[in-house]
Structure 1
């Protein structure tokens, strides 16, 4: 009887060990799945960490897109706060973001905010997006990407010679003179206008 009891206990311990190992594996997988999209942008050519727009930045950007015709694009849209706020004031706003969790979160927030019909959020590398259809471009990037991004904007948008407003947050466009600048440390915003009417 003792041998049978020992065998049953041993089997229970084995099953408990497997269950604990399975739970721990699931927890580790979940942590990796949640953190990798936030870490990977730091390993790209241009390190693009997720840093949310500040309330001051958001309000400054909104002031400069209010009443503008055409589509607005937010490059590095993060949690979607700028696009959602823009849509609430009547703009059609499109956000591009690399982190899939932030894209899903932005879509969910847009739905809850009642602006799902006037916003779009895409998981896409901004270097592979055609910017030619936008009349307002909002950039949340890093200093090292501003010059190549300006080259991209010049080729895809300025070549059409249509009115364009570029709003750069945190870092200005290299070798461009802003129409308006709000230099407020981490809340800084620079506005550039081309072919204005």
Structure 2
């Protein structure tokens, strides 16, 4: 009986701790993500998609299926295992068990995907600014469900807010 309490506590910590650090796990709908990448933001072999808080890997899977390189960071080890299992047959997709705030910028990112509330989205947008400042290629920042406060999106699509950042761009407070 005591092991059941320990197991329950461990599961609670696996899901509660990431929610305290960032956004809670809210699964993305595969059809919606596929529609986004098919209609509003087509991807190809030259694209690199970075998913901040990649959850169960739905965004990474959709991006990799379109030929893009897909990289995800997730702090919930349970979701990392689920993602790795789902992505095992897609060599262009990878997920890292890591805190995105402690990672260096990548060589190239063309799309940065994020889900978070207003406060977190502003911080994630600053992260996109740091990324694009380190590269010459433009970057599209995609926020699901929340717009970046004080910033006009380039495009809105079914609950997605897209922001086009030119290469070398520096966001406020980046």
Q: TM-score, normalised by structure 1?
A: 0.74
Paired residue for 1:147? Answer: 122
Residues 181, 191 of structure 1: 8 Å contact kept? yes
- Structure 2 residue runs of 5 or longer lacking an equivalent are 168-174
Match of 2:74? 97
**Separation in 1 of the partners of 2:42 and 2:15?**
29
What is the number of equivalent residue pairs in this alignment? 164
Distance 1:141 1:66 in 2: 23
- Bigger helix fraction: 1
TM-score (norm. length: structure 2)? 0.83
**Superposition pairs for residues 75-154 of structure 1, below 5 Å?**
75-111=52-88, 114-115=89-90, 117-133=91-107, 134-154=109-129
| DSSP-derived class of the 1:121 partner | strand
- Following superposition of structure 1 onto structure 2, how do residues 1-197 of structure 1 map, counting pairs within 5 Å? 24-44=1-21, 46=22, 48-63=23-38, 64-67=41-44, 69-111=46-88, 114-115=89-90, 117-133=91-107, 134-182=109-157, 184=158, 188-195=159-166
Aligned-residue CA RMSD in angstroms?
2.0
Q: Supply the distance in 1 between the matched residues of 2:115 and 2:160 (Cα, whole angstroms).
A: 10
Runs (5+) with no aligned partner, structure 1 = 1-23
C-alpha displacement at 1:65, in angstroms? 4.0
Per-residue deviation, 1:72: 0.8
- Per-residue CA distance 1:56-81 (angstroms, 9 max, x = gap): 53134323142262311111111011
